[in-house]
Amino acid sequence: MTDMNPSFFGRLSIAFGAFFGILGNSNFAGRVQRLRETQHAPEAPDMHVPTPAAAPVSTPAPSPLTEANPVAALQLLGLLQRDARFIDFVEEDIANYGDADIGAAARLVHDGCRAVLREHFTIKPVRSEAEGSRITLPDGFDASAVRLTGNVVGKPPFNGSISHRGWKVEQTRLPKLAQTHDASIVAPAEVEL
């Protein structure tokens, strides 16, 4: 049975796995999005019984879905492995390690991941206001950039507090790949002679 209250490092592993799953699989991304939309709904006694939804918010019709090209996600995963040993960390069974050992390893992985993100992406907050700030979202706000949570009823304008500023990538600087490059090899095997 799955642990319904995973530890910090269990959640870290789940988060990174979900991140790359979302980048590489549009069906998985849709399922995660539906799960996130229902995360603030009250839990039903039976997980298979749908919960009644609040009044829908008017949003533009979705555009047709396209298949994501996994090469960029695989390339990013390779960079995270190369500079942060990310896959090694996530794939390691950490049950027998102490918190201090895990914390030291997590610090190295964090530093490497941060360096990769800063080298290859320009990432900025979606909203410039501080978390906790009260804002008003007018009619026609960008629903792809702002997700409403809590008791969402009625029509805009909506008044609320920023619980997360969000992130957007303004620039991507991934290395160019040769045509013969196999992106699925995110870390080559190493043979010491």
Domain residues of the chain, as ranges?
8-58+68-172
Q: Is the pLDDT of residue 1 over 70?
A: no
Mean pLDDT value of segment 171-181? 92
Q: Which of 164, 168, 171, 163 is nearest to 126 (CA)?
A: 168
pLDDT tens for 123-152 read 999 999 999 999 999 999 999 999 999 989
Do 9 and 102 touch, CB atoms closer than 8 A? Answer: yes
What pLDDT score was predicted for residue 45?
45
Q: Which of 5, 34, 18, 10 is nearest to 147 (CA)?
A: 34
Spatial distance between the Cα atoms of 28 and 58, rounded to a whole number of angstroms: 25
What pLDDT score was predicted for residue 66?
83
Mean pLDDT value of segment 100-122? 94
pLDDT classification of 2: cutoffs 50, 70, 90: low
pLDDT classification of 64: cutoffs 50, 70, 90: confident
In sequence order, which residues have a C-beta less than 8 Å from that of residue 192 and are 6 or more positions away?
none
Mean pLDDT value of segment 158-176? 95
pLDDT classification of 55: cutoffs 50, 70, 90: low
Mean pLDDT value of segment 97-108? 92
pLDDT classification of 63: cutoffs 50, 70, 90: confident
